Amino acid sequence: MVTQRTFVMIKPDGVKRKLVGEIISRIERKGLNIVAMKMVQISRERAEELYAEHKGKSFFPELISYITSGQVVCMVVEGDEAVAVMRKMIGATDPKEASPGTIRGDFALSKGENVIHASDSEEKARREMSIFFREEEILELKA
């Protein structure tokens, strides 16, 4: 068993469509723990830091505009192989390719507005968590 932490963000379309509770329920039913959570309005600077790997790509301006268009819910999720488990739960980026039963397969309406983000590696998870959470904001669960 490899306990990991990963960064998960419910994007503006997920918040606007009132999917926050459903998504949190799915995460908890999977046996993962939410050890930090907050709703924020992402600044342009934070958005550019989060999506730095896409800077210079044709879709970058649209991505930044979208992610700063409304509130998001940021979470640190912990559990056995949390990075891989969350990636499997969210499904493919393009909802047309996302399997039914995944979050994107069930709720995403387009590739651009696909409800949820989850880190794709432990390294990215650490970087992305640090953008939104101070270390003292991430709790240790008590049994």
Domain boundaries, the chain: 3-42+71-137
pLDDT band (50, 70, 90) for residue 54 = very high
How far apart are the C-alpha atoms of 58 and 138, rounded to whole Å?
35
What average pLDDT does range 52-59 have in this prediction?
Answer: 94
What pLDDT is attached to residue 16?
98
Residues marked as binding for ATP? 11, 59, 87, 93, 104, 114
What pLDDT is attached to residue 143?
64
- Which one of 82, 117, 128, 132 is the catalytic residue? 117
Share of the chain above pLDDT 90, in %: 95
Give the closest residue to 83 by CA, choosing from 53, 123, 113: 123
Give the closest residue to 71 by CA, choosing from 1, 142, 16: 16
Residues marked as binding? 11, 59, 87, 93, 104, 114
Question: Residue with structure tokens 């640190």?
Answer: 76
What average pLDDT does range 58-73 have in this prediction?
Answer: 96
* CATH fit for domain 3-42+71-137, picks 3.40.718.10, 3.30.70.141, 3.40.50.720, 3.90.550.40: 3.30.70.141
2 pLDDT higher than 90: no
Region label for 62, one of left (φ > 0), alpha (ψ between -120 and 50) or beta (otherwise): alpha
What pLDDT is attached to residue 20?
98
What pLDDT is attached to residue 141?
80
Are the CB atoms for 20 and 86 separated by under 8 Å? no
What pLDDT is attached to residue 142?
75
How far apart are the C-alpha atoms of 103 and 99, rounded to whole Å?
9
What average pLDDT does range 45-73 have in this prediction?
Answer: 96
Q: Catalytic: 117? A: yes
Per-residue pLDDT tens over the stretch 122-138: 999 999 999 999 999 99
Per-residue pLDDT tens over the stretch 91-133: 999 999 999 999 999 999 999 899 999 999 999 999 999 999 9
